[in-house]
Structure 1
């Protein structure tokens, strides 16, 4: 697998970064008319900065970059170079960049009539005699699908081998990459995708919980989210009060962490089975520190609605914990 990322004779065929689908391209819009076409979202720009930094930090720097004239592609280029500059400030100035209509949106105004120029460019690549690294091409969904028969997310990179008739060897994409409404309407309606999104949301919830950082809960919890189970006397209705509730554990087990053992999805509910571990270095349930390692299980249930967690039930095995600290 390492060979995929280090060979100079490979081609990285990339779809532009994530865009704002609330604004579509105007009919017959010119490739450089940014005011009347779909452009990258702020989140998409940030993601492509991350992608550039990730590539450069792993010593994956293109020998040259070829990019479509369209604004979203040019923005992708800018963001990638910005990210690479965070790792090595000399990269952008030294990077050979070519903008060509051959990569423009297939069959659009001022676009390529077919993928022949794209195919020929990839097939002819044998590496740059003066620079190490693959060729990076930043094009569009339609062009890439027509050439490779692969459906790619915004910001995704296919790794092609020109020596093997442009065979797709693999792909690179950020964890944040996701189907878009323009080209993946069928996938967005899939229950499998609902499950994947639900699991991702719950995993991020427990990452935030382990970090005990209420800022990390932003975007995960609904405005009226509340949790059951941590207190027999009252329900915690926001992140701050919930974190205060679990101080019972944190005060006596400062390094306590929740590990997910399994996730189960049905309708709009995710059931989590997990294990809590830590060191008993402070008072828990009135029992003084023992210095022992503790481990106990927990079951949690989260109800999802409108893309966020709106209600949670937490059921830790307090009896097992009590037996270990007394």
Structure 2
């Protein structure tokens, strides 16, 4: 059996483990542990939000979607990058992406890409399928 490819000191297997641990942290709502996974200078879709902004973003997401659960459907690792497809089956309490969901159950996907720096998520690029949500509430 060949060993996992190494880029610097990061293996694809190591990135996968880091990502799954990060998702587990999100699903536990463990804001205190988030710094183990997210870089202090984190960026989201090109905007520097830092670790504190990242925490606030997730807190806001949970307030809008109390049953938020990150369901990993696909992970691809090519150090220092991770690509993932996440599935959501949830019941937002009010607006979601500016759409009046108001307690209706919706299902949608997110394609998200991460760049890892110094063992933590430094950059995130997220694309959410908002049209699917729109179709479900019309």
Query: What TM-score range do you get, normalising by the shorter chain?
Result: 0.7 to 0.9
Aligned pair 1:191/2:5, yes or no?
yes
Residue 308 in structure 1 maps to residue 125 in structure 2: no
Distance 1:209 1:191 in 2: 28
What secondary structure does 2:26 align onto?
Answer: helix
Within 5 A, what are the aligned runs for 1:15-164? none
TM-score with structure 2 setting the length? 0.77
> 1:263: Cα distance to partner?
0.6
Gaps of 5+ in 2: none
Structure 1 distance, partners of 2:18, 2:120, is 8
TM-score, normalised on structure 1? 0.36
Deviation at 1:244, TM superposition (A): 3.1
Aligned to 1:200: 17
The separation in 1 between residues aligned to 2:125 and 2:38, in whole angstroms, is: 14
1:215 aligns with 2:32: yes
Q: Give the SS at the match of 1:257.
A: coil
Confirm or deny that 1:270 pairs with 2:82. yes
Which is strand-richer, 1 or 2?
2
- Which structure has the bigger radius of gyration? 1
Alpha carbons of 1:239 and 1:214: their partners in 2 closer, same or farther (altered >3 Å)? farther
1:272 shift after superposition? 0.4
Task: Report the counterpart of residue 295 of structure 1 in structure 2.
Answer: 107
Task: Tell me how large the CA RMSD over aligned residues is.
Answer: 2.5
Cα deviations across residues 268-289 of structure 1 (Å, max 9, x unaligned)? 1110011012113333325151
- Paired position in structure 2 for 1:57: none
- The alignment partner of 1:206 has SS state of helix
CA shift digits 1:20-57 (9 cap, x unpaired): xxxxxxxxxxxxxxxxxxxxxxxxxxxxxxxxxxxxxx
Residue 300 of structure 1: how far off its partner (Å): 0.7
Quote how far apart the aligned CAs of 1:261 are.
Answer: 0.5
Cα separation, partners in 2 of 1:249 and 1:323, compared to 1, 3 Å: farther
Task: Label 1:263 to 1:198 Cα distance change in 2 as closer, same or farther (>3 A).
Answer: same
- Give 5+ residue unaligned stretches, structure 1: 1-186, 230-234
Q: Does the aligned pair in 2 maintain the 1:279–1:293 contact within 8 Å?
A: yes
Mapping for residues 203-282 of structure 1, pairs under 5 Å: 203-228=20-45, 235-246=47-58, 249-282=61-94
* Structure with more contact order per residue of length (Cα contacts < 8 Å, sep ≥ 6): 2
Distance 2:121 2:34 in 1: 10
- Cα pair 1:271 1:301 within 8 Å, conserved: yes
